[in-house]
Amino acid sequence: MNLSMSGIDWTHAPLALREQASFPPEQLAEVMGAISAAHGVEGCAILSTCNRTEIYVDAAGPADPPWRLFVRETGLDLPESAFVSRVDEDAVRHLLEVAGGLHSRIFGDDQILSQVRTAMDRSLESGAGSALLNMLFRTAVTVGKRIKTQVRFTSTTSSAAAAAVCALGDLAGKSALVVGNGEIARLAAGMLLKRGARVTMTLRTYRHGENQIPEGCETVAYADRMAAAEGVDLLLSATASPHLTVTAQQFSELRTPPGAVVDLAVPRDIDPGVRGLVPRFWDVDDLGGIETAAPEQLEQARSLVEEGVQEVLRWRERRLSRGESAYFPLFLDLRGRRVVLAGGGTIASRRINVLRQFGCDLTVISPHLKLEADWFTWLPRAYEPGDLEGAFLAIAATDSREINRAIGEEAHRRGILVSVADCMEECSFFFPAVCTGGGVVAGVVSSGKSHRKTAVAAKKIRTVLEDLT
């Protein structure tokens, strides 16, 4: 159970190099799956943002370093010197500091925490996760939250979008076109609106309920973006597209070009040649990298990081001392039984969809929910002590280590079987990969080291069950 990581980030790699290592989510999922299937590798997770690409690998034994696995699976022609690598405790400490915004170009960046959580979710969804990586990334999210709430950094900006808006100065009455409708684009548009700008956003397609448009924004079809850019004061682009949204040729053909251009994307959205055609131009490397925290704030944040590091190391030591385990399969009749599930994210949603098949009386507790509550009871709030009263089973699948631990403790006190998604030591049962077909139900679990092995085995079993009549 060896942890290692390799990364490219803004502290040593320019934008032109970083964008080579930036890939769309669907391709990252393929890369993580391929790396996790490599010899000696138990799991892989990739953290990809505009300022960094970091590959974390959990290896059961000798394995190629993460940078080599990454360039092999992506086809990149990058030497080892392009990456910074860390192992074991140093790798743990680095991720926890990253999640707290201590290594962001915009010091204390508000967006990095959700990006770390997304990296964990994508690893699990691609079947590349492992128990160690799951524990590591969940701890990083928890530590990042603690830093955000307990340490008050004095930075004036909290994201690249905020830094760009601040750099633009007085925006009252100015017009702006925002190309993109993702998280960063929406954040930028909302900030521009608050500063008094008139904002138009591009949409590639419109489906009711899928496009979240900040109140007060006008919209225009993405295909009409250049016509909409005519005469605006500001053009800002922030998409996840691997292609340019604005070329130098397109920009030069505008009769009245924007006076300021901001490119918040990696890979870049706007042709670098536009820089010479406009009075004011910023990309992500022009924003941030100056501010830091006061020494006492850094000390407080790093103290919280060290607590998280020790938590991960203790968890790993417990796993190593236990060695391999095989678990006795037990099948339960859940019809009409009360099941309480806390959580509303990706893992919780998968658990809910599985439980649908077994007739339980399910209560889901979560402030937010990805699924429609069409067959179960949804309590739109956080878990509270006492919520497990009368439950037969409990499932803790929130993104908070503290809440999941509290649910596990309450369940154990009440004698309720509980599955804790981010800590197998706190489970009294393990939620399996469920396979059904031909009136047969099979459940698959592993030793907890490799989610990918479980997923592969379950897929093969489902193929067999589908042929039963």
The DSSP line for 258-318 is -SEEEE--SS-SB-GGGGGGSSEEEEGGGS-SS----HHHHHHHHHHHHHHHHHHHHHHHH
| pLDDT for res 211 | 61
Q: For residue 469, is pLDDT > 70?
A: no
Give the chain's mean pLDDT: 87
Mean pLDDT of 368-390: 93
Give whole-number Cα distances, 365 to 359, 369, 382, 396, 409, in Å: 18, 9, 6, 10, 17
Mean pLDDT of 37-50: 89
Position with higher pLDDT, 103 vs 340: 340
Choose the weakest-confidence range: 64-68, 121-125, 384-388. Answer: 121-125
**Per-residue pLDDT tens for 203-221?**
876 544 456 788 889 999 9
Q: For residue 154, is pLDDT > 60?
A: no
Long-range contacts of 35-42 (CB under 8 A, 24+ apart): 35/66, 35/69, 35/70, 35/73, 35/128, 36/126, 36/127, 36/128, 36/130, 36/450, 36/452, 37/452, 38/63, 38/64, 38/69, 39/63, 41/69, 42/1, 42/130, 42/132, 42/449, 42/450, 42/452
Q: Are 283 and 263 in contact (CB under 8 A)?
A: yes
**Per-residue pLDDT tens for 287-337?**
765 455 677 888 898 999 999 999 999 888 877 776 656 678 889 999 999
Token representation of residue 125: 């969804």
Nearest to 362 by CA among 409, 394, 403: 394
Q: For residue 345, is pLDDT > 50?
A: yes
**Per-residue pLDDT tens for 249-266?**
999 999 999 999 999 888
Choose the weakest-confidence range: 24-33, 80-89, 171-180, 325-334. Answer: 325-334
Q: For residue 155, is pLDDT > 60?
A: no
Q: In whole angstroms, what is the distance from residue 193 CA to residue 172 CA? A: 9
| pLDDT for res 149 | 87
Under DSSP, the state recorded for 379 is E
Q: Encode 235-266 in three state secondary structure.
A: EEECCCCCCCCECHHHHHCCCCCCCEEEECCC
Predicted structure pTM score: 0.69
Question: What are the catalytic residues?
Answer: 50
Q: Are 66 and 5 in contact (CB under 8 A)?
A: yes
Residue count of the chain:
469
